[in-house]
């Protein structure tokens, strides 16, 4: 179970990235689930999370993406 | 089928990579400079704002005789992105996020860009052609995007879009296809009626239909896959210290510069540069307005066209706003006038009084929207 869930579905670029970044920076270690629905948002959030040293696992279901970001 | 899917994934990975975005920037830079050689206006191989203004003229939404042509590059951007989105299964009709606010952002984005005389793409191409005024425009763009980024950090949002019917995602691509048909057949709806074609001026300067359309389609595909965005490049560098998109933009400038040098199209200076003015303050403020509007709308004018091709109705509304804004810019004499050099005397151009008022009003509107459209905590 993730420590925090960020639902960024339907939000314009770069809001998903900003919300995910704020969630990552707000915790010292743990997992965050980020929900997005476009591949552009999936790629942008993934790139940002990796840049911040996190690992990212992606699941696709029903045209939406669930990114599990692990910090620490 | 598996290998087909594998090939798609490989192409996607390549174009989404750093090398991919740099390659796309290089290709756009070379193609834009070559389009000038092929007939497009100087330092205007591609300009989304100028070309949407020309399209507004072709449709008769404004009657500035020098800037009327149904630009195939814009049609190609939308249709190329549409084809790419279908092929890569990214066509997703969606919309409903504050359409009227997005429309007004489009209107003011066009008014700001036409006060400067170019969108961010043309600002980069003008720089690559030696036009120093582009530096003022790019500084304004940076300031506008930074202001937008500040709003985003404070929780600015226009709200969520939702999934829409397939038909709504097809509307803008279908309209572009219709425009292509009208252009190809040079349809006239009667004496003195649309389509309008400039006989002189920038609207009369264009590459052949086949060349322009091919360039537009190719760039549409590449940009859809790589998410190329000039505004996003600045925004990401400022907000999250990510220079991925910026590396593509830098590649565009470098490639256009090198191609311009090779073709003898480079001429450095500030005064009387091609279809440009040296009213420095208004170059800066015009582009600041555009940059802010693009940041608040989530993409540069090129990116809005590519998103429209993917079925994004909110981006399509922004595009319509830009076309209407471009028409307003000429009907209400808001657009910047180019510098004129006559008998060795320089007459500095720039926007007239109404244009200056419109730019300031746009900055006020966008700032108000940026500060008040906020996510509830």
DSSP characters over B115-183: HHTS-HHHHHHHHHTTBTHHHHHHHHHHHHHHHHHHHHHTTB-----EE--HHHHHHHHHHHHHHHHHH
Q: Which residues of chain B have pLDDT under 50?
A: none
Write out the residues of chain B at the interface with chain A, using a CB-CB cutoff of 8 A. Answer: 12, 16, 90, 92, 94, 97, 152-153, 157-158, 160-162, 227, 232, 235-236, 239-242, 244, 297-299, 314
- Gap between the Cα atoms of B148 and B296, Å rounded: 6
Question: Which residue matches tokens 């905590």?
Answer: B377
In this structure, the strands spanning B340-342 and B345-347 are antiparallel
d(CA A54, CA A57) in angstroms, rounded, equals 10
The candidate with the shortest Cα–Cα distance to B147, out of B377, B372, B376, B366, is B366
B104 is a domain residue:
yes
Element (H, E) at B7: helix B2-16
Greatest extent of chain B over all pairs of C-alpha atoms, in Å: 68
Query: In 10 A of CB B187, how many CB atoms?
Result: 12
Q: What is the pLDDT of residues A3-47, one digit of tens each?
A: 999 999 999 889 999 999 999 999 999 999 999 999 889 999 998
Instruction: Tell me the count of A-B CB pairs closer than 8 A.
Output: 55
Closest alpha carbon to B106 in B233, B294, B310: B294
Burial of B37 (0-12, 13-18, 19+ CB in 10 A): middle
Question: Which residues in chain A are contacts of B97 at CB distance < 8 A?
Answer: 10, 12
Q: Which residues of B126-142 are buried (b: 16+ CB within 10 A; e: fewer)?
A: bbbbbbbbbbbbbbbbb
Comparing C-alpha atoms, which of A14, A41, B146, A58 is closest to residue A22? A14
Give the total number of structural domains in chain B: 1
Nearest C-alpha in B relative to A38: B90
Residues of A with CB under 8 A from a CB of B: 9-15, 17-18, 21, 37-40, 43-44, 47-48, 51, 63
Cis amide prior to B10 (ω within 30 degrees): no
Within chain B, how many helices (H) and strands (E) appear?
15, 4
Chain A residue numbers with beta carbons less than 8 Å from the beta carbon of B152 are 14-15, 18
Q: Which of B16, B92, B232 sits opposite A13 (nearest CB)?
A: B232
Listed residue (A10, A38, A34) closest to B85, CA to CA: A38
In a domain, B360, yes or no: yes
Chain A residues with CB-CB distance to B94 below 8 A: 10, 37
| Phi, psi dihedrals of residue A70, rounded to the nearest 5° | -115, 125
d(C-alpha B151, C-alpha B311), whole Å: 27
- Reported as a single tens digit per residue, the pLDDT across B18-51 is 999 999 999 999 999 999 999 999 999 999 999 9
Gap between the Cα atoms of B89 and A55, Å rounded: 26
On whether residue B45 sits in a domain, the answer given is yes
Asked whether the beta carbons of residue B152 and residue A39 sit closer than 8 angstroms, the reply is no
Chain B contact set for A44 (CB, 8 A): 227
The 10 Å Cβ neighbour count of residue A2 is: 15
How is residue B365 written in tokens?
């509107």
Q: Is the pLDDT of residue A1 over 80?
A: no
Nearest in space to B39 (alpha carbons), one of B257, B209, B205, B176: B205
Cβ of B240 within 8 Å of Cβ of A10? The answer is no
Q: pTM of the prediction?
A: 0.96
Cis-peptide into B232, omega within 30 deg: no
Torsion of CA B141, B144, B148, B154, to 10 degrees: 140
**What pLDDT score was predicted for residue A2?**
85
- The domain of B79 spans 2-372
- Which chain A residues are Cβ-neighbours of B227 within 8 angstroms? 40, 43-44
With an 8 Å Cβ cutoff, are A10 and B161 in contact? yes
**Cβ-count burial of B22 within 10 angstroms (0-12 exposed, 13-18 middle, 19+ buried)?**
buried
Within a domain: B154: yes
Pairing of strands A64-71, A55-61: antiparallel
> Does residue B377 lie within any of the structural domains?
no
Q: Which two tokens stand for residue B28?
A: 């756009």
Tell me the nearest-neighbour CA distance from A12 into chain B, angstroms. 6
Sheet strands (E) in A2-63: 4-7, 30-36, 55-61
User: Do B158 and A21 make contact, defined as CB atoms within 8 angstroms?
Assistant: no
Residue from A13, A20, A23, A45 whose CB has the most chain B CBs within 10 Å, to mutate: A13
Contact B157 A12 (CB under 8 A): yes
Phi/psi for B264 (5° steps) reads 70, 30
Nearest-Cα residue of chain B relative to residue A25: B240
The number of angstroms, rounded, from the C-alpha of B112 to the middle of its chain's C-alpha atoms is 12
Show the domains of chain A with their CATH numbers. 4-71 (3.30.110.40)
What DSSP state is assigned to residue A66?
A: E
**B135-156, pLDDT tens digit by residue?**
999 999 999 999 999 999 999 9
């Amino acid at each position: 179970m993730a420590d925090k869930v960020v639902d960024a579905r339907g939000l314009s670029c770069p809001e998903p990235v900003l919300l995910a970044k704020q969630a990552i920076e707000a915790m010292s270690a743990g997992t965050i689930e980020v929900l997005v629905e476009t591949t552009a948002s999936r790629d942008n959030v993934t790139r940002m999370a990796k840049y911040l040293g996190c690992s990212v696992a992606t699941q696709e279901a029903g045209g939406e993406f669930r990114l599990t970001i692990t910090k620490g | 089928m598996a290998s087909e899917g594998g090939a798609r994934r490989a192409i996607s990975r390549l174009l989404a990579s750093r090398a991919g975005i740099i390659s796309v920037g290089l290709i756009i830079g070379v193609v834009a400079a070559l389009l000038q050689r092929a007939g497009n206006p100087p330092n205007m191989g591609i300009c989304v704002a100028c070309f949407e203004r020309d399209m507004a003229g072709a449709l008769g939404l404004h009657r500035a005789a020098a800037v009327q042509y149904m630009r195939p590059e814009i049609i190609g951007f939308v249709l190329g992105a549409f084809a790419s989105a279908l092929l890569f299964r990214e066509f997703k009709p969606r919309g409903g996020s504050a359409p009227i606010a997005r429309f007004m952002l489009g209107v003011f984005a066009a008014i700001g860009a036409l006060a400067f005389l170019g969108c961010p793409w043309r600002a980069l191409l003008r720089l690559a052609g030696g036009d120093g005024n582009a530096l003022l425009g790019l500084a304004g763009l940076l300031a506008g995007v930074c202001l937008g980024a500040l709003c985003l950090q404070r929780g600015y949002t226009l709200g969520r879009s939702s999934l829409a019917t397939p038909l709504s995602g097809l509307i803008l691509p279908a309209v572009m296809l219709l425009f292509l048909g009208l252009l190809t057949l040079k349809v006239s709806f009667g004496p003195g009626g649309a389509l309008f074609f400039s006989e002189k001026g920038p609207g009369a300067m264009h590459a052949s239909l086949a060349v322009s359309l091919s360039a537009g389609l190719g760039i549409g595909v590449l940009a859809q896959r790589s998410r190329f965005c000039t505004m996003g490049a600045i925004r990401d560098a400022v907000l999250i210290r990510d220079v991925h998109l910026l590396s593509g933009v830098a590649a565009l400038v470098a490639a256009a510069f090198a191609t311009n040098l090779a073709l003898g199209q480079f001429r450095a200076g500030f005064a009387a540069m091609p279809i440009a003015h040296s009213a420095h303050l208004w170059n800066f403020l015009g582009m600041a307005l555009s940059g802010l509007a693009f940041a608040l709308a989530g993409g540069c004018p090129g990116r809005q066209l590519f998103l429209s091709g993917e079925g994004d109705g909110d981006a399509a509304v922004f595009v319509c706003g830009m076309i209407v804004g471009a028409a307003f810019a000429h009907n209400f004499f808001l657009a910047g006038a180019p510098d004129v050099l006559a008998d060795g005397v320089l007459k500095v151009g720039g926007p007239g009084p109404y244009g200056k008022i419109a730019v300031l009003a746009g900055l006020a509107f966008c700032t108000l929207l940026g500060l008040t459209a906020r996510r509830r905590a």
